Structure 1
Amino acid sequence: MSANNPAPHATASIAGAEPHDRRRRRLLQCMGAAALPLSWPVLAETYPGKPVELVVPASAGGGTDALARAFAEATRKLFPQPIVVNNRPGASGAIGMNDVLASRADGYKLCMVIAEVTTLPNLGLAKFDYTKFEPIARLNADPAAITVRADAPWNTLEEFLAAARKQPGEVKLGNAGTGSVYHLSAIGLEDQAGVKFNHVPYSGAAPAVIALLGGHIDALDVSPAEVGTHVLGGKLKMLGIMADQRIPAFGNVPTFKERRIDLALGTWRGLAAPRGTPRPVIDMLRATARQAVEEQGFKDSLAKLNLGLAYLDAPDFERAMKRDHEYFGQLIQKNGIKI
């Protein structure tokens, strides 16, 4: 049937289209029809034909998990199929990221890729690196922070570091996993402040926070978002953040640079697929992410969770990953870090 002589039912079919068909058309409009390859019309009819799995390489309850669920919720009215979150924690994110890379590159299994994709390979803890992923969009970025229990004897960063200097290797400093950004930022703190910690890794930020609340460790190196609820609730206190500027949600917490410690490190999280995923699929997911971050509900969720919204589209996201990969490689080599 020619385009000039459509089937009699064509107009009625479009008018009565199901919601997911309308969402697909909106995504096509967002992407720009002129930029689509000739194969797109066929692919548009088949993808996504079922729910899409979003693997979170961290424990439920942490910042990465919360971000993924907020994103999945934001896409409900934007994407033709549900995006289903699946937690695969362990090995500082390597287990979950490997799981995605081992899957078919068809767009049905995505990864909430985390900053550890730039640290683990430099430490020899992962056989993959960021180049194995097809970037979709960065969604978030947050600085690392040092947090202690509310009843801890230290009220300032200086007091905490002074205690660590008096007891080299005695202060138990938890992190979100061996080789994680938080682990490396703690090592960077050792280098800058002339201290030595007893590093205690966990399978993600959430269990590390629980350990701190339970008194199993003395302090914690994770993002403000992952301790924010407990800080605001009076159970924990944040001593300093590794950022260039203070963050609004915790405006009374000084930066390390204010305390003459030149350290600004943190984490980020974004969407990625296995390299080789068809370009039209990636473009559709990019369009979805671009719209999702503008949803007020998504913005409100991140604000409530104290997660920093830091959207980057795929090309800029890939450049940022390359930059971090090179930075952490130099940091690890300079400090002779071996795991």
Structure 2
Amino acid sequence: MKKLLSVALVLLMAFTLIGCGGGDEFPTRSIDLIIPWSAGGGTDVAGRLYAKYTEEALGQTINVLNVVGGNSAVGAAQAATSEPDGYTAVLLTYDILSVEAQGLAPISIRDFKMINKFSVQPTALVVHKDSGWETIEDYRQAALADPGGIDVAVNGEGAVWHQAGVLADREMGIEAQYIPYNGSSEQVAAMLGHHVQATYISYTSVLQHVEEGTLVVLGMMTEDRVELLPDVPTFKEVGYDAVLNSWRGIAVPKDTPDEVADVLREAFKAAYDNEEYQTMAREALIDGDYQAHDEFQEFLVESYDQVYDIMDELGFAKPEK
């Protein structure tokens, strides 16, 4: 009887150790990374490249899953409600703040535990060379002379670059007319066809036309000048506190254990610091902007207040902040 009790005790201790993590350490299998945007787009390309180099640091495969719909809400919701074990992560973008501010889906940044931010999509104010405008002040003076008379292309009503334009208008004390299009390719076509006078857009979407001299970037809505456009000033440096850009970051469900999240944080940081990754990202026009999880979380809380205020100004915000 004593022998049987001893065997049972040993087995119980073994199972207890396994249950407490005494077995193989995380991760022991592949990880799913949900990208809530279509395959082949800019965010998909950025996410897949980042995942490739993170695999090396983790020693496990990262399976990219494109789960689209609802301005990123569908994929984000799937990630938020997945098992909080570290084996499902999600690539979040600025749009998750817009979805929450409008109440378009029962999803919030508070449903996630942040891993890091790794990329920014700088917003540019772009005009056609035929406009004759060469500076932000030229544009402002034209808008003051004709309130609401300048047509500006944006990537959808209430979308990130519409919000950027509204913020810039507020800071410059002007009023423009915003025309929504289905994405950056349509915005660029509208500019080239002289259907609009200006656009707020990611500078990478127009870089070719800027280099050819057809389109002109008047200003950037970043904190600092962009490396590929060193002669283009920021709104901030010419006196307008208008900073608003899209971004990309990694998150996991909020109840993911800290020790598991920390493993992912170390791996994604190692990937970001990889010189080969940095070279590949620059070649793909993916602007790096790293924030650790705590800084990223603080940034999101501050950004949400700005997004809600802009949405409220547009009449799109949900009743309760």
TM-score surpassing 0.5?
yes
Is this contact kept in 2: 1:88–1:95, CA < 8 A?
Answer: yes
**What secondary structure is seen at the aligned counterpart in 1 of 2:58?**
coil
* 1:246 to 1:98, Cα distance in 2 relative to 1, 3 A: same
Does residue 156 of structure 1 match 2:139?
A: no
Shift in Å at residue 51 of structure 1?
Answer: 5.0
Matches within 5 A, 1:235-314: 235-314=214-293
* 1:288 to 1:244, Cα distance in 2 relative to 1, 3 A: closer
Q: Distance in 1 between matches of 2:228 and 2:255?
A: 40
* 1:42 to 1:153, Cα distance in 2 relative to 1, 3 A: farther
Identical aligned residues as a percent: 27
Aligned match for 1:44, one of 7, 21, 25: 25
Q: Match for 1:337: what amino acid? A: L
**What secondary structure is seen at the aligned counterpart in 2 of 1:269?**
strand
* 1:82 to 1:200, Cα distance in 2 relative to 1, 3 A: farther
* 1:86 to 1:177, Cα distance in 2 relative to 1, 3 A: farther
Q: Match for 2:30: what amino acid? A: K
Q: Distance in 2 between matches of 1:56 and 1:178?
A: 19
Does residue 94 of structure 1 match 2:70?
A: no
Q: After superposition, give the CA deviation of every residue in 1:245-284 in whole Å (9 maximum; x if it has no partner).
A: 3223211112223433232222222101222234443222
Is this contact kept in 1: 2:191–2:198, CA < 8 A?
Answer: yes
* 1:186 to 1:80, Cα distance in 2 relative to 1, 3 A: same
Matches within 5 A, 1:43-192: 44=25, 47-57=27-37, 60-62=40-42, 64-192=43-171
Shift in Å at residue 171 of structure 1?
Answer: 3.4
Question: Which residue number in structure 1 is paired with residue 5 of structure 2?
Answer: none
Q: Distance in 2 between matches of 1:75 and 1:215?
A: 43
Shift in Å at residue 222 of structure 1?
Answer: 2.5
Q: Distance in 2 between matches of 1:85 and 1:209?
A: 29
Q: After superposition, give the CA deviation of every residue in 1:65-100 in whole Å (9 maximum; x if it has no partner).
A: 332122023224223333243444554433432343
Shift in Å at residue 146 of structure 1?
Answer: 0.8
Question: Which residue number in structure 1 is paired with residue 315 of structure 2?
Answer: 338
Q: Distance in 2 between matches of 1:48 and 1:214?
A: 54
Where in structure 1 are there 5+ consecutive unaligned residues?
A: 1-36
Does residue 223 of structure 1 match 2:163?
A: no
The CA RMSD over aligned residues, in Å, is 3.2
* 1:204 to 1:256, Cα distance in 2 relative to 1, 3 A: same
Shift in Å at residue 161 of structure 1?
Answer: 3.5
**What secondary structure is seen at the aligned counterpart in 1 of 2:314?**
coil
Is this contact kept in 2: 1:91–1:203, CA < 8 A?
Answer: no
Larger displacement relative to structure 2 (156-165 or 318-327): 156-165
Is this contact kept in 1: 2:36–2:73, CA < 8 A?
Answer: no
* 1:330 to 1:88, Cα distance in 2 relative to 1, 3 A: same
* 1:222 to 1:312, Cα distance in 2 relative to 1, 3 A: same
With normalisation by structure 2, the TM-score equals 0.77
Name the larger-Rg structure: 2
Is this contact kept in 2: 1:57–1:97, CA < 8 A?
Answer: no
Q: Distance in 2 between matches of 1:315 and 1:306?
A: 26
Is this contact kept in 2: 1:90–1:203, CA < 8 A?
Answer: no
